[in-house]
């Protein structure tokens, strides 16, 4: 499914990613953890196609297709969804309108017919129910005036509606409050399935109590320096990142 090989990237003249290898198979949930500034958000942004970063070496493929060759819209149509801690507001555009346009663009890209209005409404109502989203939020402008928790819920709802192949969640370092955390976790857990891969970027172990990952990777200095199962996240919580720094130093 997702295959990242020897990925190097820089911003301005600073090298941030220094050789990332990561394979995420269909059905798996991978967590990327690491200290502040290690390159986690950079990695998530590059997978989604943000333009600030220059990839200097390596490849990213999704189902054998070269993602680096695609703009962010094409990647989305291929099934990549990136969720951020601070979702964008789109004043004047209702959630329903936005999602219908987005879903139809994806369907068109994949050679599927547009959903009729009634098919579409049925689809989003089912997803709103699954995500426990208040139905009044469907007609509101995308994220405009939403509280932090509402934005988070809405974003996970958007993800559920678009049914991406690859979900990338960057929860950044400042952390979510416990309610937002549970919203994200419930949403992601509802979407887990054999056809879908999830990459959760998080500084803290906390989220992983709710989204139990199959694999945990530690990113440090732009490289994955250690990988393991969920127990690695628990070990990090207990010991901090220091013990891995020592391991890496001992290896060098």
214 binds, among Mg ion, ligand ADP, none (CB under 5 to 8 A by kind): none
Cα dihedral value 206, 212, 143, 115, nearest 10: 180
CA pair distance 217, 203, nearest whole angstrom: 11
The least CB distance from residue 96 to Mg ion, in Å, is 31
By C-beta, is 89 or 173 nearer to Mg ion? 173
CA pair distance 81, 43, nearest whole angstrom: 14
The least CB distance from residue 184 to ligand ADP, in Å, is 17
Which positions touch ligand ADP (CB under 6 A)?
11-12, 14, 16, 34, 36-42, 52, 173
The least CB distance from residue 180 to Mg ion, in Å, is 16
Q: Whose CB is nearest to Mg ion?
A: 41
Complete DSSP assignment for 28-79: -EEEEE--TTSSHHHHHHHHHT-TTSEEEEEEEEETTEEGGGS-HHHHHHTT
Query: What does the buried/exposed string (b/e) look like for 35-74 if buried means 16 or more CB atoms within 10 Å of the residue's CB?
Result: beebbbbbbbbbbbbeeebeeeebebbbeeeebeebeeee
* CA of residue 133 relative to chain centroid, distance: 20
The least CB distance from residue 11 to ligand ADP, in Å, is 5
The least CB distance from residue 38 to ligand ADP, in Å, is 4
- Determine which residue in the list 23, 59, 94, 172 makes contact with Mg ion, applying CB under 5 A: 172
How many residues touch Mg ion (CB under 5 A)?
5
52 binds, among ligand ADP, Mg ion, none (CB under 5 to 8 A by kind): ligand ADP
- Determine which residue in the list 41, 154, 158, 197 makes contact with Mg ion, applying CB under 5 A: 41
3 binds, among ligand ADP, Mg ion, none (CB under 5 to 8 A by kind): none
Burial of 30 (0-12, 13-18, 19+ CB in 10 A): buried
Contact residues: Mg ion, CB under 5 A: 36, 40-41, 172-173
């Amino acid at each position: 499914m997702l295959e990242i090989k020897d990925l190097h990237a820089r911003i301005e003249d600073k090298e941030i990613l220094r050789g990332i290898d990561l394979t995420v198979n269909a059905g798996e949930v991978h967590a990327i953890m690491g200290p502040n500034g290690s390159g986690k958000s950079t990695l998530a942004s590059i997978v989604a196609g943000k333009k600030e970063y220059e990839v200097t070496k390596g490849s990213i493929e999704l189902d054998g297709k070269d993602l680096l060759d695609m703009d962010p819209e094409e990647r989305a149509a291929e099934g990549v969804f990136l969720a951020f801690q601070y979702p964008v507001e789109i004043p004047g555009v209702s959630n329903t309108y936005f999602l219908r346009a987005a879903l139809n663009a994806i369907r068109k890209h994949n050679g599927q017919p547009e959903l009729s209005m009634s098919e579409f409404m049925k689809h989003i109502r089912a997803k709103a129910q699954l995500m426990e989203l208040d139905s009044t939020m469907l007609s509101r402008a995308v994220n405009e005036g939403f509280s932090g928790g509402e934005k988070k819920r809405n974003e996970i709802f958007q993800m559920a509606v678009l049914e991406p192949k690859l979900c990338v969640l960057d929860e950044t370092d400042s952390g979510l409050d416990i309610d937002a955390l549970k919203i994200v976790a419930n949403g992601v857990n509802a979407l887990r399935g054999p056809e879908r891969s999830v990459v959760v970027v998080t500084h803290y172990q906390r989220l992983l109590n709710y989204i139990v990952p199959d694999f945990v990777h530690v990113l440090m200095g732009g490289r994955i320096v250690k990988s393991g199962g969920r127990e690695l996240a628990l070990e990090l919580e207990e010991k901090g990142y220091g013990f891995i720094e020592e391991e890496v130093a001992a290896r060098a």
